[in-house]
Amino acid sequence: MHVGYKRILLQRAQTHAYKLPVISGDGQRIAFVSFASDLTAVVDDRAQDVFVRDLQSAVTTLISAGTGATNEPSGIPAISGDGEFVAFGSRAEDLVAADNNGVVDVYRAGIP
Protein backbone atom coordinates (compact mmCIF):
# COMPACT_ATOMS: atom_id res chain seq x y z
CA MET A 1 0.00 0.00 0.00
CA HIS A 2 1.41 3.35 -1.03
CA VAL A 3 0.74 6.07 1.54
CA GLY A 4 2.36 8.96 -0.35
CA TYR A 5 5.30 11.25 0.15
CA LYS A 6 5.61 14.74 1.51
CA ARG A 7 8.74 16.87 1.18
CA ILE A 8 9.39 18.49 4.53
CA LEU A 9 12.65 20.37 3.93
CA LEU A 10 13.60 22.40 0.92
CA GLN A 11 17.22 22.36 -0.19
CA ARG A 12 18.35 25.93 0.45
CA ALA A 13 22.07 25.67 -0.27
CA GLN A 14 22.73 23.49 -3.30
CA THR A 15 26.03 22.17 -1.95
CA HIS A 16 24.73 21.12 1.46
CA ALA A 17 22.59 18.02 1.79
CA TYR A 18 20.47 16.81 4.64
CA LYS A 19 21.27 13.34 5.95
CA LEU A 20 20.51 10.79 8.67
CA PRO A 21 16.92 11.93 9.28
CA VAL A 22 15.04 10.46 12.24
CA ILE A 23 11.41 11.19 13.12
CA SER A 24 9.81 11.42 16.55
CA GLY A 25 7.21 8.82 17.53
CA ASP A 26 4.45 11.39 17.29
CA GLY A 27 5.57 12.37 13.77
CA GLN A 28 5.89 16.08 14.62
CA ARG A 29 9.67 16.57 14.62
CA ILE A 30 12.55 15.36 12.48
CA ALA A 31 16.19 15.48 13.57
CA PHE A 32 18.87 15.46 10.86
CA VAL A 33 22.45 16.52 10.17
CA SER A 34 23.71 19.04 7.64
CA PHE A 35 26.69 21.24 6.77
CA ALA A 36 24.31 24.01 5.68
CA SER A 37 24.86 27.35 7.38
CA ASP A 38 21.60 29.01 6.31
CA LEU A 39 18.97 26.79 7.94
CA THR A 40 18.57 28.96 11.06
CA ALA A 41 19.24 32.53 12.15
CA VAL A 42 22.10 31.26 14.34
CA VAL A 43 25.46 31.76 12.64
CA ASP A 44 26.93 28.33 12.13
CA ASP A 45 30.58 27.29 12.37
CA ARG A 46 30.48 25.40 9.03
CA ALA A 47 30.92 22.03 10.70
CA GLN A 48 28.35 19.28 10.34
CA ASP A 49 25.60 20.06 12.85
CA VAL A 50 22.42 18.51 14.22
CA PHE A 51 19.11 20.26 13.50
CA VAL A 52 15.48 19.60 14.38
CA ARG A 53 12.58 20.56 12.12
CA ASP A 54 9.20 21.02 13.79
CA LEU A 55 6.67 20.01 11.14
CA GLN A 56 3.76 21.79 12.80
CA SER A 57 5.44 25.21 13.17
CA ALA A 58 7.81 24.79 10.17
CA VAL A 59 10.71 25.99 12.36
CA THR A 60 14.21 24.52 12.11
CA THR A 61 16.41 24.69 15.23
CA LEU A 62 20.17 24.24 15.47
CA ILE A 63 20.63 21.73 18.29
CA SER A 64 24.41 21.21 18.37
CA ALA A 65 25.36 24.87 18.89
CA GLY A 66 28.15 25.42 21.37
CA THR A 67 29.49 28.52 23.04
CA GLY A 68 32.38 28.93 20.59
CA ALA A 69 33.32 27.93 17.07
CA THR A 70 35.42 24.78 17.28
CA ASN A 71 34.46 23.58 13.79
CA GLU A 72 34.12 20.04 15.11
CA PRO A 73 31.33 17.87 13.69
CA SER A 74 28.20 16.62 15.40
CA GLY A 75 25.99 13.86 14.08
CA ILE A 76 24.10 10.57 14.31
CA PRO A 77 20.98 12.03 15.93
CA ALA A 78 18.29 10.08 17.74
CA ILE A 79 15.04 11.71 18.83
CA SER A 80 12.78 10.73 21.71
CA GLY A 81 9.33 9.33 20.99
CA ASP A 82 7.62 12.49 22.21
CA GLY A 83 10.04 14.71 20.26
CA GLU A 84 11.25 16.55 23.37
CA PHE A 85 14.91 15.42 23.35
CA VAL A 86 17.66 14.69 20.83
CA ALA A 87 20.73 12.60 21.53
CA PHE A 88 23.78 12.97 19.29
CA GLY A 89 27.52 12.48 19.17
CA SER A 90 30.01 15.32 18.82
CA ARG A 91 33.71 16.09 18.91
CA ALA A 92 32.98 19.75 19.71
CA GLU A 93 34.63 20.85 22.94
CA ASP A 94 32.35 23.83 23.59
CA LEU A 95 29.01 22.08 24.20
CA VAL A 96 29.70 21.61 27.93
CA ALA A 97 32.28 23.11 30.28
CA ALA A 98 35.71 21.46 30.63
CA ASP A 99 35.34 19.04 27.71
CA ASN A 100 38.88 18.74 26.45
CA ASN A 101 39.24 14.97 25.99
CA GLY A 102 39.44 15.21 22.17
CA VAL A 103 37.05 12.31 21.54
CA VAL A 104 33.43 11.97 20.49
CA ASP A 105 31.05 12.43 23.41
CA VAL A 106 27.31 11.72 23.51
CA TYR A 107 24.92 14.52 24.43
CA ARG A 108 21.21 14.90 25.18
CA ALA A 109 19.58 18.19 24.36
CA GLY A 110 16.08 19.44 25.06
CA ILE A 111 14.26 20.85 22.07
CA PRO A 112 12.99 24.38 22.63
pTM: 0.84
At 66-86, the pLDDT tens digits run 766 556 889 999 999 999 999
Question: Which letter, b or e, does each residue of 61-89 get, where b requires 16 or more Cβ atoms within 10 Å of its Cβ?
Answer: bbbbbbeeebebbbbebebbeebebbbbb
15 neighbors 7 (Cβ within 8 angstroms) = no
At 41-74, the pLDDT tens digits run 776 666 889 999 999 998 889 998 876 655 688 9
Q: Domain locations in the chain?
A: 18-110
